[in-house]
Structure formats: structure tokens, C-alpha cells
Chain A
Amino acid sequence: MEELVVELVGVTKRFDRVTAVDNVTLQIRRGEFFSLLGPSGCGKTTSLRLVAGFEEPDQGEIRLDGKPVQSLPPYRRRVNTVFQSYALFPHLNVYDNVAFGLRRSSVPEAEIQTRVSQALELVRLPDLLARRTTELSGGQQQRVALARALVNQPQVLLLDEPMSALDPKLRRDMRTELKRLQKDLGITFVLVTHDQEEALSTSDRVAVMNAGKVEQVDAPRAIYERPATRFVADFIGTANFLPATVRAVNNGRSTVVLADGVSLVAPSAEKAPVGARVELSVRPERLWLTREPGSNGSNCLPARVVECTYMGPVTRYTVEVAEGVRLTTEQQNQDVVDGYQAGESVFLQWRPTSGTLLPAEAR
């Protein structure tokens, strides 16, 4: 069941001075929707191009369907790419663009005809066969690019920021559409994006990349709820960080102490043994503010409100728990009748299970 379609094993790719992909190991399963997510310049595109065959790795092995392919040219690999710029052939009409791949593998013309119409129907774009691609809207071009790739029934479909040129509304629609296509066809999709919402909402699994390295590979929920590194916690959504030291590990629960001696409880983490310097990360929406200290087993920190911003459904508070240690939290406005004022002393609380212990990074 857990068949691997794409494998990168210790792959490194350097350009003149930069190491674009740094010792990356990835395993992508058959039929899954996999995303490469990371900030600009972290090596997502390069990773994708290595799989497609446009770049050759300096080190490591790339396998498609279990076979090493790093020395195969792109036209010998059964993967297809949807390019960021779509790269539709301007001298060919829609039909000939979609038929391009089939013609290269000498499919009979009659079969080409049916498969091209099927592919265009799949992306909901029939009736434009004779149109020049330069006469299409951005969204239509994208659908043609998708059809042109899918019509070849690739083992893997690679998509490099396919939606970055679309307006936000269209982007959301396309996102749903992509997900539907992937489910219906059962083809493995590898999507490159720097849009976390896009990655989290479409993917079965997400790889978060940073500076050429893979920081974490996990399901979207795990990426958000249990980030493996400070980078992931910070890059996905917003996170609060409290520097601390692990005092005790007991039965899946760790006790950590802050610099001022307050102790807090959080789920244990493998990389946070007793004595380790860690950072306790909590999402803003998991924190709540009270005027009285709690007593129901939640973590509780005295704090002072520094800033409050009313935003309609929620109010965002910035609070200071110690000199220079500030956290943000968002409170639903229905819960709080009169809100808190800047300068007010409050208590900040959260459930122990809401926190994540991250190894402190040497900075």
C-alpha cells in the first residue's frame, strides 16, 4: 500500500555559490497529494526540477517508481510538469498544445482526439480547441497547461506554483479543483507553493523546506499542531515562543521552567530531554486571558497587556510576561464583555496539551 513513487535520497544541488538543495531525503507515496512549502529561495523549484530532470543532482539519488533516474533526460521520465508561467506553445492552438505529449509518443491520431477532449473536459474547458493559447485568460491557460500534462497519464504530476498568477478568488476555486482532479485521477501530485493555506488545504502531506533543507514532513494538521522546529512553527501560522529549560519528563508530560522560575507543563518531545534548553511554542488562538489566576490544571502566567487591537470578531492582545518576552493572543469578542485595557494586569492561560516543545536553536 505504501508504495513510493518518488524518492530523493541525500540529494544535493549546488549552483555557483548557493546550495539550493542540501542533502534532501524525501519519500512521496503513490497517489498522494504532496506539497513542498517554504519561503522564497528555499529550493522548492530546484527540488521539483531535479525530479522532472531539468537539473542533475551533484550528490544523491532520485528514484521514480523505485528506479534511479538521475541520469535520465526529462523526455525519458514519466512525469509531467505544470510550469509556473504555464509555458504553453504560442504557435499551437489549444488542441495541439494538449496533443503535444501524445504525438511525441506516437499515439494514433484517433486516440489522441478522444484523449484530448477527455482531458479538456476534465479541466472543464471544452469548446476552445481551435483557440490560440495567447487568446486565453490566465485561468484558461492554466487549465490548458493542466490538461496538457494530465493527458499523458503521468506517474507524477509536478506543479510549480501553478496558481500564483491567478487572482485570489480564482485561486481558491482552482485549489478545490486541483484537489478534486487529484482524487478522481489518483495521480500523485507534487505541488510547490509558498502559500501555506494552499499547501495545508490541498495536501495529504506537506514538506516544509528552509534554506535547501527539509525541516519537517507531515500531514497538514501535524505540521500546524506539532511543528518539529522553531522555523516550522514560525513559518506556518503565527506562534509564540517562551525560552525555557526542561526540568522533568514524566509519562509524556514535561515540566519546563522559565528564566524567572515559573514552571509550565507541555507534552514531551523527543528532542527535549531533561536539562535541554527549549522553546515552548503556543499558538495565539490557544491562549486565553483572565483577570484571576486559574486553578484547573492549565498553565498560567501573570502578564501585562501592552497593546490591544480591536478587529471585529476578535481582539488581538500583545502581552508581556517578562522583560522583553511578549506574546500575542486573539480573543473572541463574544466571551469578553468589556475587554482588557493596555497596561492592565492579567493572567495568560493555556492547556498543557496546546504547547509544543522545540529544541532551542543556536542563534
Chain B
Amino acid sequence: MVALAEAPAAPPVADRLSRARRMHLALWALLALAATASLASGATGVSLGALFAGMTGAELSGVERVVLYDIRLPRLVLGALVGASLAVSGAVMQGLFRNPLADPALVGVSAGAGLGAITAIVLGAGVSWLAFTGIYTVPFAAFIGGWASTMILYRVSTRRGRTSVATMLLAGIALGALAGAASGVLVYIADDAQLRDLTFWGLGSLAGATWAKVAAAGPIIVAALLAAPFLARGLNGLALGEAAAHHMGIPVQTVKNAAILSVAAATGAAVAVSGGIGFVGIVVPHLLRLATGPDHRMLLPNAALLGASLLVLADVISRTVIAPAELPIGIVTAILGAPVFLWILLRRRGMIDL
């Protein structure tokens, strides 16, 4: 009898869509908070007061102006863009593979994108046609690398519209190792100028954020983010398998191609400016699915906001815990994200269906 009395009530999934809409508003507020924290913290002292003064148009000292507008603001914008693109490409990829473990960083897509970026930097100088792409060369090459790895991964791990988790993860390990090894070889043969370029692009942190990088990666990321909502209904249908999606009139092949392109573009651009930052793409969509359900119509925009907020906050942590030095942001997201990931595995072993 006690057991009956204490039996959990029916899961409160009633009208999760409207709860997701309220969550959307809350996440904008969270992003605003994170942005304020990010602008107000750092090695040099620009106080909160100075920050508000700057916003209201009052005079700032020269140093404050440089710190705020040329260091912290581009870093904030880049962090938000990268966080949003990591979380959304994670969610899109999970929808495409019908699997909550698919994540660009985990299954080698980020490594492929990194290889693309490094190839462009080390070998690209000799290729004249690449020049037309200008500042976009490195993000574009990363996009190609990410696209190729996503295609290979999908081909290897999906048969007749079903994705094998084990194959996907193993293929991802192989792809990641291969791309990592090739990247290592390229770094080894790079000359001094190229090494400087490699450091400039960062490939591992947000430390070198500049307006130039925002300009190079921003448009690609924004385009991929704007395309994501159009995938939502298709990804919902794909959750029932490719056949059922087809019967419901969803253009399955188009949705798949568009999803692969958007994952590759968002991951490629994010990797080009910040390297492979792990766990955002897997933890953010998962938490949102727990809170407001798996419907992609709200999952994708909410993932963008939560991903952006979390990465900006992780960046604040990376700049403050060992100030004046900086912890690479990848370490912060791993310390925060990996335990959450393990907890997901523990709780949801059945659902993930290995």
C-alpha cells in the first residue's frame, strides 16, 4: 500500500510545448545575465559601474574603451556564437542519427573540421583558388572537413534508415583518430609563419577572440542557426524512422542533406575559431529534453540560447579561477560536462539502447 501511495504521479509532460516557450523567455534572461558577467570580469579592472556607464554612453577612459570594445565584447560575441552553434549542431545531429549520444565533438566531426582548418592554414597558401574565400578560407575549409566526416559517419553507421549506436561511436573514434593524426602531421611540417597562424586561430580556446574572427565565423554560424528551425518538423518525423517520416510527407532525403550541411557548417565555423570544445553539444540538448521534451520545434532555439549562455559562463570561469592566467575553456566544459554526461549514461542506459 505504501508503495502505491508513493508511486510517482504520471510524468508531467502535459503541454510540454508551452512550458518550452516559457523556458525560451527564461533563457534569454539567462543569456543577458551571462553577457553582463562576461563583460564585467577579466584580468584588468573594468568595473561593473564603468560597464553601465559605457552602456549609457558616458565617457570611458581609453584603456576601458579598448578592454571593453576590442577585447571583451568580441570575446563575448564569439563565445555566444560558438556555444549556440555547438549546442544546436549537437541537437540536430542527435535528431539526424536518432540518437542522444551523437555529438560532433564525440564522433569525430569536430576533429574532421579541425583537420580541414589546419590543412587550409598549412597547405592552403599554395592553392591560389582558395584566395577568393579571403577571411572565410579557414572556416570554409573546416566546414568541408566537418561535412566529409559527417557524410562518412552517416554512411558507415546507418543501414536502412536505422543507426547503430555502437557502429557510430566506433566509427567516430576511428575518424577522430585519423583526423587527429593527419592534423598532427600537418602541424609537424608547418613553417614558422603557419604556426603563428595556427596559434592565431586558437583551435582550442576563445582567448584570441577578435572582431576579425567574429566576422569570419559569424555569418556561417548565424546562417546555420537560422536554418535549424526549418529542420525541426523533419527531425521530429525522423524520430519515428525514415519510413514513417516518408509516409507523413516529410522530404526525408532533403532533411538529411540539410541537417548534415547545417551540422558541418556550424561545427566547422565553431572549430575554426575555437577548436573542439566538448560536451556542450551533448549536455545542453539532453538537459532541455529532460526539462521540456524532445520536440525539435522548441528544442533547437532553446539549445541555441542555453548553449550560448553556458559557454559564455564557462568562459567567465576560465578567465577568473586562476586569474590573471587563463584556463583553456575546453578544460572548463570538460570538468563541468563530463560528469553530467556520465550521469546521463547512468540514468538513461536503457533509453540510449546500446
* B and A form one assembly: no
Interface, chain A (partner B; CB < 8 A) = none
